[in-house]
Amino acid sequence: MNLQENILRIKEMMGLLTEESKKYSTILIFGPQGVGKSTLTKPLGEKLGMEVISSDDYVDQGNWATEKTAKQGWLKRKESEFDGMVNFLRNNLGQSVILDIGGSHGVWEGNHLGKIKKMISSYPNTFLLLPSDDMGKSKEYLRKNILKRESGIEGAIEYWKKLIAKDENYVNTLNDEDKDDYMERLEKIKNGDTKEAQYQIDRMQKRLDIINSGNVDWKEFDIDDEDSENTKFASNEFNDYSNYFITNMKNSGIANHIVYNLGKNTEEVINDITNKLK
């Protein structure tokens, strides 16, 4: 045991160890899309001095859009996500880190659920973040946040418009990885191929117009729907997974604690979590 570990042990024995100086093992934060996990985990990580790692950066949904029905597409997507999630957990469990588990990455059934729960069973600091215990209020909150996030497609529209305008200077606003993609697309534009750019602008502008109008027609996700055709992304389709995600996450027991954030500020939610840490 080194000097620093000895100091921490003495402080703990004397009751002088604060939340910020305690050393916790892996903390897992689950929750549906739009609940605010990313907004929460960054300041939580800063408070506890722990790195935050998002599963969204490592878990791939795979190619499921070509499946015939929505259910077949979902099941294929979950196969890809399961493989990615297992690797993600293997690489990070046991470390003093906070794992931000992206929306669908916390939704499992059958053998998948059993294996994921077995992997995390020895970690007591697993939290399910939800807006409210009232499903109606939760759905309203999540839909609002999802639309707020989607309004960010204005930046994506600008990106494609800059390509159409053959703006070479715009590349300087991008990171290194995106710069290469931009220049490749710009070369196609210069050669007269504007089809992809115009398609992207049209579909995203249509979606943005619907969002701004407030007349969004939500389609409730139903895992038992065997007949709905699995189509490629449609500008006028807004899928709502809230009911399915929340019901699944609650009933599966994927987390040891449920924390509600509706009507609370970030600091209050962080306190709710830190008070339960072991």
pLDDT > 90 in the chain, percent: 74
- The predicted pLDDT at position 4 comes to 45
pLDDT mean across residues, the chain: 89
Task: Find the helix or strand (DSSP H, E) in which 97 lies.
Answer: strand 97-100
Return the amino acid letter for 123: Y
Burial of 126 (0-12, 13-18, 19+ CB in 10 A): buried
- The predicted pLDDT at position 185 comes to 96
Mean pLDDT of 52-64: 92
| 247: CB partners within 8 A, 6+ apart | none
pLDDT tens, position by position, 116-158: 999 999 999 999 999 999 999 999 999 999 999 888 899 999 9
Helices assigned H by DSSP within the chain: 3-14, 37-48, 70-92, 110-120, 135-150, 153-164, 176-190, 195-213, 242-252, 266-274
- The predicted pLDDT at position 233 comes to 66
Task: Give CA–CA dist 246/272, Å, rounded.
Answer: 19
Helix (H, G, I), strand (E, B) or coil at 259: strand
| 40: CB partners within 8 A, 6+ apart | 29, 129, 261, 266, 269, 270
pLDDT tens, position by position, 162-213: 999 999 999 999 998 899 999 999 999 999 999 999 999 999 999 999 999 9
pTM: predicted TM-score of the whole model, two decimal places:
0.82
pLDDT tens, position by position, 235-266: 888 889 999 999 999 999 999 999 999 999 99
CB 219 within 8 Å of CB 237: yes
Tell me: pLDDT of 81 over 70: yes
CB 225 within 8 Å of CB 171: no
pLDDT tens, position by position, 24-50: 999 999 999 999 999 999 999 999 999
